[in-house]
Amino acid sequence: MSAGDLQVDRPHSARIYDFLLGGRDNFEADRQAAAKMLEHTPNLPVSMKANRRFMARVVRHLARGGIRQFLDVGTGLPTKPNLHEVAQEVAPDARVVYVDNDPLVLVHARALLTPTGTGSVAYLDADLREPETVIESDAVVKSFDLAQPVAVTLIAVLQHVTDDALARHVIDELMAPLAAGSALVLSVVTVDNDPDAGPETVRTYNQHGVPAVARSRAGVETLFGGLELAEPGVVPVHHWQPTDEDRQVDDASVYVYGGVAFKK
Ligand SMILES: C[S@@+](CC[C@H](N)C(=O)[O-])C[C@H]1O[C@@H](n2cnc3c(N)ncnc32)[C@H](O)[C@@H]1O
């Protein structure tokens, strides 16, 4: 794959996020966009780390509750721990399908594809805005038993689906063929915590050609419509089954709501 395919001259969501998490899989254009965001919202890395910890807590919780199949849509670049490492630590037989449409994530997918348990890990290069290409894919059909529950995790990705009706469609299509007991995990960008500076960072994404939107708590609750929202409902991610580390985090620093709901 060439630098042209990777579009290294323009920022990409996965690479900005990687940079803000302290990773090295990013380019000058990503770092410049991130620097602009940090001018407005210097605590963005705190938020992103809290988001990763949320992912790990939820996946651990669901695996302990018996879920063995995870469809992670909008995976991002490999980081520590990756979702399959968390799931397979609890349940070695867990099966994970990762989905992303970023070419650099595809390049790095090999690092994601090493199961740490006896289960499996697959990677699908697909655009979630065409959810049927995800849910009807060979990766999903071959990896999962759709008669058994699946957890669909959309972690910090729906901010790039700016149209609410499309976001609704994506969720509905992904959940429709799944068995009762399946879970939807969402973490969704908000600026409710920081209405002054937060919108500037959302604007910076858009100005750099990465479409992004922030949603209110009510907006996130709407995305869970038709499913049974588990306690504590939609909360800033560091409030969802918080650890001591999460309890130290300042509410104003966290730009992400999270929640989990189940299919009846
Ligand atoms: C901010 S990162 C979040 C990564 C990871 N889920 C996390 O929370 O740590 C957003 C990811 O969603 C991916 N993404 C954005 N739009 C997408 C789309 N239409 N289809 C598939 N993936 C998409 C990006 O490439 C990026 O890897």
Question: What are the pLDDT digits (tens) for 80-97?
Answer: 999 999 999 999 999 999
Q: What is the mean pLDDT of the chain?
A: 97
Where residue 208 falls among pLDDT bands split at 50, 70, 90? very high
The alpha carbon of residue 17 and the mean position of all alpha carbons in its chain are separated, in whole angstroms, by 11
Residue nearest to atom 20 of ligand 1 (CA): 127
Residues with CB under 6 A from ligand 1: 13-14, 17, 51-52, 55, 74-76, 100-102, 105, 127-129, 155-157, 160
Q: Is the CB of residue 156 less than 8 Å from the CB of residue 74? A: yes
Own/partner contacts of 235-241, CB < 8 Å, gap of 24 or more, are 235/259, 236/50, 236/190, 236/193, 237/50, 237/51, 237/53, 237/54, 237/187, 238/50, 238/53, 238/54, 240/54, 240/57, 240/58, 241/57, 241/61
Backbone angles phi, psi at 257, to 5 degrees: -95, 150
pLDDT, mean of residues 54-70: 98
Where residue 112 falls among pLDDT bands split at 50, 70, 90? confident
Where residue 249 falls among pLDDT bands split at 50, 70, 90? very high
Report pLDDT for 4: 72
pLDDT at 236 over 70: yes
Question: What are the pLDDT digits (tens) for 5-17?
Answer: 899 999 999 999 9
Where residue 169 falls among pLDDT bands split at 50, 70, 90? very high
Nearest of 49, 43, 26, 39 to residue 187 by alpha carbon: 49
Residue nearest to atom 16 of ligand 1 (CA): 160
Report pLDDT for 1: 66
| 3-class DSSP state of 152 | strand
pLDDT at 3 over 80: no
Distance CA(142)–CA(144), nearest Å, equals 6
Is 237 exposed, middle or buried (CB count within 10 Å of its CB: 0-12, 13-18, 19+)?
buried
CA atoms within 13 A of residue 254's CA, in its CB half-sphere: 23
Where residue 110 falls among pLDDT bands split at 50, 70, 90? confident
List alpha helices for 41-177, DSSP H. 44-64, 83-90, 103-107, 109-112, 131-135, 138-143, 164-175
| Domains of the chain, each with CATH number or no CATH | 3-262 (3.40.50.150)
For residue 226, report the distance from its CA to the centre of ligand 1, in Å: 24
Nearest of 123, 128, 127, 153 to residue 140 by alpha carbon: 123
Residue nearest to atom 9 of ligand 1 (CA): 52
Where b means 16+ CB within 10 Å and e means fewer, 91-101 reads beebbbbbbbb
Report pLDDT for 85: 96
Where residue 113 falls among pLDDT bands split at 50, 70, 90? confident
